[in-house]
C-alpha cells in the first residue's frame, strides 16, 4: 500500500502498532471522519506543492456529497496579509514580490 505524500499525514509503526492519521483534520477536531481512502481525493498535497504563497495556512474539512461520498474541502489564507485565497495555488500578494 502506497502512503500519501502529504505534509499533514502521520504514520507511526513503532513496535508493530500502526497508527495513521491526518494532522490537518486532527487540528480541526474532525479526526474521527478520516480514513486512508479520503487521502486519494484530497487536494491538500497538490495545493501545498503548487502554491506560490510563502505564508500559506491551510484548513481542511470533510464534506459529504449527497450524504455518501466524503471529500476534503480546502480553505486557504495568506498569513502575511491575513487574506483568504479564492485559488489556494496563487496568492496575489506573494506573487508580486
pLDDT tens by residue, 45-81: 999 999 988 899 999 899 888 878 888 999 999 998 8
CB 28 within 8 A of CB 58: no
pLDDT of residue 18: 87
* Predicted confidence band of residue 29 (pLDDT cuts 50, 70, 90): confident
Taking the C-alpha atoms of residue 84 and residue 44, their distance in angstroms, rounded to an integer, is 16
* Pairing outcome for strands 56-65 and 17-22: unpaired
The arithmetic mean of pLDDT across residues 7-28, rounded, is 89
Grid coordinates representing 34 are 478520516
Question: pLDDT higher for 95 or 13?
Answer: 13
pTM of the entire predicted model: 0.79
Phi and psi angles of residue 19, each rounded to the nearest 5 degrees, phi first: -125, 125
- 95 has pLDDT over 70: yes
The residues, any chain, with a CB within 8 Å of residue 91's CB and separated by 6 or more, are 51, 52, 53, 54, 56, 78, 83, 85
Taking the C-alpha atoms of residue 38 and residue 84, their distance in angstroms, rounded to an integer, is 24
Residue 7: DSSP 8-state: T
Amino acid at each position: 500500500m502506497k502512503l500519501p505524500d502529504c505534509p499533514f499525514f502521520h504514520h507511526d509503526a513503532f513496535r508493530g502498532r500502526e497508527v495513521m492519521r491526518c494532522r490537518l483534520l486532527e487540528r480541526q477536531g474532525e479526526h474521527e471522519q478520516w480514513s486512508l481512502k479520503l487521502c486519494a481525493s484530497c487536494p491538500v498535497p497538490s495545493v501545498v506543492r503548487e502554491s506560490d504563497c510563502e505564508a500559506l495556512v491551510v484548513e481542511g474539512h470533510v464534506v459529504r456529497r449527497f450524504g455518501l461520498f466524503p471529500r476534503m474541502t480546502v480553505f486557504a489564507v495568506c498569513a502575511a496579509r491575513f487574506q483568504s485565497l479564492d485559488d489556494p495555488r496563487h496568492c496575489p500578494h506573494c506573487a508580486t514580490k
